[in-house]
Structure 1
Amino acid sequence: MEEYLQYRPEGDTFSLFSAEHIWTLVIISVFILGIMLLKKSWMPHQHSIRLVLAAILFLALITHQIWLLSEHAWSAASALPLHVSDLSVIFAFIMLINGSEKLFQFLYFAGIASSVQALLTPDLGTYHFPHFQYLVFFISHGTVILAVLVMLMAFSYKITFRTVWVCVLIVNLYAAIIFAVNKWLGSNYMFLMKKPEGVSLLNVLGKWPWYLIWAELIMIVSFLLLFWMYKRGRLHD
């Protein structure tokens, strides 16, 4: 059991789209489909479901920080939740508690897009199932998507074409702040300074800074696709 809690476990590195990765994605997809297809069943209990999802996100965030501290591995240069997908965990927790429409609008685009990218190409190094880091990573990012879908179906929140570009602007302004933070801490949050060492979509997008330009374009296309899905879903409601 202790080996699944070690900060630097020995053994094979995480393998992209291995059996364990695919099965993890299947399980998350089943939960997502369940939320979408069984709306009438869970809707009367949506408040309780929101609290459960919020508790999962809170526990994932807190236990991860405690684990890093217990392993003497906490560092401001690597352990702060400053990646967009990590920040989305915090925002999703707040959204589930207070029902913020503004947070929902941001998370519908930035939260879903960053979480999907993280789930498909996780930078996990030597962490694989059932290591604590592996479980926390997939549970937290998968729960962000579930949280956004629950709020989307439980409330009549509005998303406009303008919202897409507001979110693009927010992410870019945030990236500018994080670039300065990276310079200060010697960190690599949002992978603005260099590409991740593990498997990542960024690794096929060229060298720095060109992969940042491609990442920007992919983000915009992803947001536009999510907007199209929102509009299509509303037409069929």
Structure 2
Amino acid sequence: MFESYFSPTNPGQSFQLFSQSHIVVIAIGLLLCVILFVNGKKLKPANLHDWLRYILIGVLAISEVSLNIWYITTGAWNVKETLPLQLCSISLLMSIIMLITKSRKLFEVVYFLGIGGAIQAILTPELFDGFPHYRYFHFFVAHFSIILASLYMVVVEGLRVTFCSVLWAMLVLNGIAVIIYFINKVIDANYMFLAHKPTNLSVLDYLPDFPWYIIYLECIAFVVFILLYLPFKFR
């Protein structure tokens, strides 16, 4: 019975967008974000901030390692689909480094790429396995942990972003996209959806076909980054 939850096929229902299990996990994730936002400043005086930082590092690292173990043990691992080259996978790895080093420059990138990408992924997941499959839990734990990592740096460590941070994040995003584009060409993959739209329902379905949707995504990314910057502008 236990093994079925880690099987290549889902023992329960396939994932349904905005189903009860989707809404519940979003509510739980939002609650955790609110708890951190409200209580984060109390952690340093109580010498608890490093404990939370280590927990977040551990959760992020375990989620990535466990996913690759699952890919390998189920025979699903392949270079075209399972390398950590999607935007959220890259953001996850950068989040770990950011939490370890407390790098301000890295935070300016992870804050925008991590939160912006994770929110889109959480709302419109490219996820086939629903509750209670391992992939369901992994997906939402990993993506909410990316958000919590940046929120930790804001609330607990007191880091801030500026408009220059928006431009820096856009520059890094495009640099990453160029690298991933050529990797896709070499291995015939679709990382960061730079070759075609995802198979699941997503915001890309409302955009023109390749390559025009990439231009739209550039504009959407800039608008999202500006929206994420506004709380610091008017603080």
Fold agreement, TM-score > 0.5: yes
2:187 corresponds in structure 1 to 185
Query: Is the 2:124–2:201 contact (alpha carbons within 8 Å) kept by the matching residues of 1?
Result: yes
Q: Distance in 2 between matches of 1:97 and 1:213?
A: 34
1:56 corresponds in structure 2 to 59
Between 1:110-119 and 1:3-12, the stretch displaced more is 3-12
Q: CA deviation at 1:154?
A: 1.9
2:198 corresponds in structure 1 to 196
2:4 corresponds in structure 1 to 3
1:166 corresponds in structure 2 to 168
What code does the residue aligned with 1:174 have? I
| Structure 1, unaligned runs of 5 or more | none
Cα offsets for 1:75-96 (capped at 9, x unmatched) = 1111111111111111111111
Q: Distance in 1 between matches of 2:10 and 2:20?
A: 20
Q: Kindly indicate whether residue 96 of structure 2 is the aligned counterpart of residue 93 of structure 1.
A: yes
Cα offsets for 1:88-143 (capped at 9, x unmatched) = 11111111112111111101111110011111100012x00111111111001100
What code does the residue aligned with 1:38 have? N
1:32 corresponds in structure 2 to 33
Q: Distance in 1 between matches of 2:11 and 2:170?
A: 40
Q: Distance in 2 between matches of 1:12 and 1:213?
A: 36
Q: CA deviation at 1:157?
A: 2.5
Q: CA deviation at 1:162?
A: 1.2
Q: Kindly indicate whether residue 78 of structure 2 is the aligned counterpart of residue 72 of structure 1.
A: no
1:115 to 106, 109, 118: 118
Q: CA deviation at 1:184?
A: 0.6
Q: CA deviation at 1:12?
A: 4.2
Q: Distance in 1 between matches of 2:123 and 2:88?
A: 13
Q: Distance in 2 between matches of 1:155 and 1:7?
A: 40
Q: CA deviation at 1:71?
A: 0.7
Give secondary structure in 1 for the equivalent of 2:198. coil
2:137 to 113, 135, 140: 135
Between 1:57-66 and 1:147-156, the stretch displaced more is 147-156
Q: CA deviation at 1:11?
A: 6.1
Q: Distance in 1 between matches of 2:86 and 2:110?
A: 14
Q: Give the TM-score normalised by structure 1.
A: 0.94
Q: CA deviation at 1:67?
A: 0.7
Q: Distance in 1 between matches of 2:212 and 2:16?
A: 26
Query: Is the 2:11–2:133 contact (alpha carbons within 8 Å) kept by the matching residues of 1?
Result: no
Query: Is the 2:60–2:142 contact (alpha carbons within 8 Å) kept by the matching residues of 1?
Result: yes
Between 1:129-138 and 1:26-35, the stretch displaced more is 129-138
Identity of aligned residues (%): 36
Q: Give the TM-score normalised by structure 2.
A: 0.94
Give secondary structure in 2 for the equivalent of 1:38. helix
What code does the residue aligned with 1:28 have? G
CA 1:103 to 1:25, structure 2 compared with 1: closer, same or farther past 3 Å? same
Q: CA deviation at 1:39?
A: 2.5
1:124 corresponds in structure 2 to 127
Query: Is the 2:12–2:133 contact (alpha carbons within 8 Å) kept by the matching residues of 1?
Result: no
What code does the residue aligned with 2:19 have? S
